[in-house]
Structures are given as structure tokens and as C-alpha cells.
Amino acid sequence: MSTFYDEVQALKARYPDWLSATMPALRLAQEKHGYLSPDALRECANALGTTPAFCESVATFYDMLHLQPVGRHMVEVCTNLPCALAGAQRVVEAFEEQLGLRAGETTGDGEITFRTVECLGGCGRATVVAVDERYHEFVTPEKVPEIVGAVRGNA
Ligand code: FES
């Protein structure tokens, strides 16, 4: 069984420059640790041959990389302009009501983190909601209970 260090070396070997392996290495570290804790950043930096500060600086730029603990599932609503015009705020409020929390929080059982995010790239299909890595399009407040039920069913 290969170690995290070995897996990062394999990633680095795919690219002419180790910097290109930074994002996949951070994703790998996040998968292993659940989020990019200080330990995860140190381990990643060691495997890449750089500093934890560099890894953290990259991680802070990307929404999909988490520097704080998150739930086992991630529910994200895009609130950028096209989705906002399609009623994203009402979708956000429906999720907050269904989950009993505010955007940016995690359910008490640690299962679901809910948050708003920048454009998910599906502007023509607003409102877009990402559940883990699966996208739901044309989401309305009426569809929220079904989405939450499906997430809880998978929990
Ligand atoms: S603005 Fe929502 S997906 Fe682009």
C-alpha cells in the first residue's frame, strides 16, 4: 500500500514542474484528513518539497479546499448574479430552514455543511446547487426537501 508521500511523488512525476502537482496533492491531503488541517498542510508541503505556508496560500484561493473541518457532505448554492436573478436567495433560505442552520454552518450531527459559493459554471441552468460533487440544476425552493432527503438517505 502506497503512502501519501509516495502518491504525491507519483503526482509530481506526471508534470514537468512540481508546482503543477500542488492542487492534486492538496485534494489528496483533504481526502485523507477530511480537511486541510495544519498537520495535513505540513504533510502535503513535505511531500511536495515546499512550505506549509505555500500550501495554505494556495488552499485559501480555492472554495473546494477546506481549511476548517466540514461535514461529511457538502451542499453549496451558487449565489452569483445569474443564480441570484433566478431566485438563489430563496433556495438558500429553504436549505437553512430544512437543515436548521445558517449558510456557512454544519449540522449538529456533523453530516452536512451548507454554504453559498461563487459561480459553479452552470449559469444557464440557474439556480445551481452542488451536493458533494454532483450538480443539481434549475433548483427552486420546492426542490430543496427532496435534495436534503437524498443527502440524508446517503448519510
Ligand atoms: S452564476 Fe450560478 S452557476 Fe454561474
Is there a single domain that holds both residue 32 and residue 79? no
Q: By the 8 A CB rule, do 130 and 117 touch? A: yes
Ligand 1 atom closest to Cα of 125? 3
Question: How far away, in angstroms, is 117 Cα from ligand 1 center?
Answer: 9
Structural Rg of the chain based on CA atoms: 17
Q: Which atom of ligand 1 is nearest to the CA of 120?
A: 3
Predicted pLDDT at 154: 59
Say whether 69 sits in a helix, a strand or coil: coil
Task: Return the SS3 of 38.
Answer: helix
112 has a pLDDT exceeding 60: yes
16-58 tens-digit pLDDT? 999 999 999 999 999 999 999 999 999 999 999 999 999 999 9
**Given this model, what pLDDT does residue 64 score?**
87
What is the per-residue pLDDT across 81-97, written as a single tens digit (0 to 9) for each?
999 999 999 999 999 99
For residues 117 and 144, membership in a common domain is answered with: yes
Question: CB of 128 closer than 6 A to ligand 1?
Answer: yes
CATH of the domain at 36: 1.10.10.1590
Summary mean pLDDT of the chain: 95
Q: Provide CB contacts within 8 A for 1, sequence distance 6+.
A: none
Instruction: Supply the CATH number for residue 104's domain.
Output: 3.40.30.10
Question: Which stretches within the chain are classed as H helix?
Answer: 4-13, 22-33, 38-48, 52-59, 81-85, 88-99, 144-154
Check residue 47 and give its pLDDT.
Answer: 97
Q: Which domain holds residue 109?
A: 73-154
Is residue 81 domain-shared with residue 48, that is, in the same domain?
no
Could you tell me if 78 and 135 lie in one domain? yes
Percentage of residues in the chain having pLDDT higher than 70? 98
Same domain flag for 114 and 136: yes
**How high is the pLDDT of residue 155?**
47
**Residue 77 and residue 55 share a domain:** no
Task: Answer yes or no: do 81 and 147 share one domain.
Answer: yes
**Which is the closest atom of ligand 1 to the Cα of 127?**
2
Q: Are residues 77 and 150 in the same domain?
A: yes
Domain boundary among 59, 86, 104: 59
pTM: 0.83
